[in-house]
Structure 1
Amino acid sequence: MLLALYGVFAFIGLGYLAKTLRMVGNKQSGILLGFLLNFALPAQIFTGIYHVELDFKLILIMLTTLGCSLVGGASMYFFSKKILKRERNTAIAMAFLATLGNTLFLGVPLVYGALGQEYSNKAILYDQICTAIPLAILTPMIMSIGGKGVFGLRAITMRLSQNPLFLALIIGLIFKFMPFSISEWIFTPIKQLGACATPVALFAIGVQISMGDIKTEWKNTFVVLFWGMIFVPAIIFAFIHLNGILITDDWRMALLESAMPPLISSAAVIMRAGLNNKIAVSSIAFGIFASAMTIPMWLRLSYL
């Protein structure tokens, strides 16, 4: 885990340094993100989904964790709106940020460092079921709240059908259930392409980090990160123990993924919807650094 954290922050730091020294600008960052979203990440997802061992218990674990995350997000909205008396746009942004975590860019490498390759493949599946699909459903809803679109089945379907990551998931599942297997040599260039995903993603995160908004939104940021990285995984942890469930590595993977900091894509959705984008940028930036303490803590607790 420590080596995984070291690698994560090394690439993020390199991206932030490149931005600070103006070695990389918006144009280069856009090219990196295009390569990442359209080629490297789909290759990683396709390879991971094809090689993952699927079973009913694993899917049930993921759906249980997703349910806890959605409950946590809904309770975040009511807490911020009724108790903290935040205005509606801020409360919606806080709830959205607390619901979905950075389960792919950060989650996959950290799960790999903690549990190994088999569970990093499962973490890819977790990301698609518990983050990508909910994001496709919640995005039109958030946009409609901000008056920027219409929420409906058509909007959700269009978003999923145009998402290269979701399409890679579907293609991977199709080939997985074919009556024949794909020779491993065919995966050689696909694996090489997918291997670029993590360093490029972390570098891109570093390029996008902005420290300025942390000063003005630190109170709301603290609440969002506590809710998403402590409260939600605590619900899952309590569910496991109250039901007398043995914590296997499948549960451990799901617990770690549920404790990830806010999803980077959430900031883009919040910005486009005209909500409080400062809290989004602040939560994502500070959450990455907070994960260096919270993720090892949950990993340690899972073995108790």
Structure 2
Amino acid sequence: MGAVLTALGTMGAVVALGWVLGRYGVLGERAAPVLARVVFAVATPALLLGTLAHTDLRLLLSRTALVTWGSTVLVALAAALVLRLALRRGAADVTVGTLTSSYVNAGNIGLPLSVYLLDDPVAVVPTLLFQLLVLAPVAFTVLDGAAAARRGDADPDAPPDAAVVVPWALRVRTVVRRTLSNPIIVGTLTGVALAALPWDLPEAVFEPFRLVGAAAAPLALLAFGMQLSVPRSSGAAAPRRDLVLAVALRSVVHPVLAWGLGTALGLPPHALLAVTAMAALPTAQNVLVYAMQYRHGEALARDAGLVTTLLCVPVLLVVAAALG
């Protein structure tokens, strides 16, 4: 349990530093959005490229990966359906709410847990790959489409009144163009392509990406802490029902689903502990970065990240005690 407490304590210290910087305006009023953009456009793509380029893609075919993906899909679908059908949220808010419920902190907490608690550095890879190759591209596609609809630019080359008659093929090309221009997706796809090559590039090629990517986690945590320091008005608070849904799915439903699917598929004890622990991780700070980038659901991403991070300590202790 020392690894769990150490990882969470380290994160808490960096978040607290961000709160102090934001509370006293050390970096200026616009520091949090600027940090978020740096993480989104530079540091995270570099981190993903360097990490995925060295990943064994055969992990995509394991039972562990199947449990991870299956439980995550079920949680994401449940969140999307409730937010859309019961709470009547718009597409962008549904997307951010779904991410807060299903996108876990696999980097900042998952990696140290996989090393120190599970003694298996690759235990976090199926979670990372699914989030980067499925959840993130789908979410960015929806968020980019919602942003385009707000700007009224479904097709930048079409006349102003042509948005409602743009052919389906042109709409698809527009979405693909926007998706492939997203720096995080570009970094992810490049890393996967490098991992699939039959030869390895010299390690010196990856050193600049490692150097820049190392800034992604601390900058994301600093931006998170700076957002927490902003005084809240009634309009800045996360919708209560959305927050309760995200926290319940993230901290309770997801680990239970992972445990149930893993048990049904006959995973050995160590693998069952791994998938359940990964499913019990809190909402990733990256979700707040994405919400800030697209200016939707920032309060929900911030509050869900805080609450699930606090709850993950007792949840992980229970998981480790029950399955370890």
TM-score normalized with structure 2 length: 0.73
Of 202, 226, 239 in structure 2, the residue corresponding to residue 183 of structure 1 is 202
What residue in structure 2 maps to residue 126 of structure 1?
130
What residue in structure 2 maps to residue 18 of structure 1?
21
Paired amino acid for 2:310: F
> Following the alignment from structure 1 to structure 2, what is the Cα–Cα distance between the partners of residues 148 and 252?
45
Which ranges in structure 1 are unaligned for 5 or more consecutive residues? none
Change beyond 3 A, Cα 1:180–1:70 = closer
1:241-293: CA deviations, max 9, x gaps?
Answer: 12323355598257515743263256448855xxx765455334433333333
Once the two structures are TM-superposed, the CA of residue 161 in structure 1 deviates from its matched residue by 0.8
Work out whether 1:157 is the aligned partner of 2:176. Answer: yes
Work out whether 1:264 is the aligned partner of 2:314. Answer: no
Work out whether 1:226 is the aligned partner of 2:230. Answer: no
What residue in structure 1 maps to residue 164 of structure 2?
none
Change beyond 3 A, Cα 1:183–1:42 = same
What residue in structure 2 maps to residue 245 of structure 1?
267
Paired amino acid for 1:195: A
More moved, 31-40 vs 149-158: 149-158
> Following the alignment from structure 1 to structure 2, what is the Cα–Cα distance between the partners of residues 255 and 220?
24
2:254/2:279 contact within 8 Å kept = no
Alignment of 1:41-80 (within 5 A): 41-55=44-58, 57-58=60-61, 61-62=64-65, 65-76=68-79, 79=82
Q: 2:30 aligns to what SS in structure 1?
A: helix
Paired amino acid for 1:233: P
Which ranges in structure 2 are unaligned for 5 or more consecutive residues? 116-120, 155-167
1:52/1:122 contact within 8 Å kept = no
> Following the alignment from structure 2 to structure 1, what is the Cα–Cα distance between the partners of residues 237 and 90?
16
> Following the alignment from structure 1 to structure 2, what is the Cα–Cα distance between the partners of residues 285 and 81?
24
Change beyond 3 A, Cα 1:222–1:125 = same
Work out whether 1:283 is the aligned partner of 2:304. Answer: yes
Work out whether 1:111 is the aligned partner of 2:110. Answer: yes
Q: 2:112 aligns to what SS in structure 1?
A: helix
**Percent sequence identity over matched residues?**
15
2:68/2:126 contact within 8 Å kept = no
1:102/1:260 contact within 8 Å kept = no
2:15/2:224 contact within 8 Å kept = yes
2:39/2:289 contact within 8 Å kept = no
2:40/2:184 contact within 8 Å kept = yes
> Following the alignment from structure 2 to structure 1, what is the Cα–Cα distance between the partners of residues 114 and 40?
25
1:225/1:287 contact within 8 Å kept = yes
Of 225, 234, 243 in structure 2, the residue corresponding to residue 206 of structure 1 is 225
Once the two structures are TM-superposed, the CA of residue 108 in structure 1 deviates from its matched residue by 0.7
CA RMSD of aligned residues (A): 3.8
More moved, 54-63 vs 239-248: 54-63
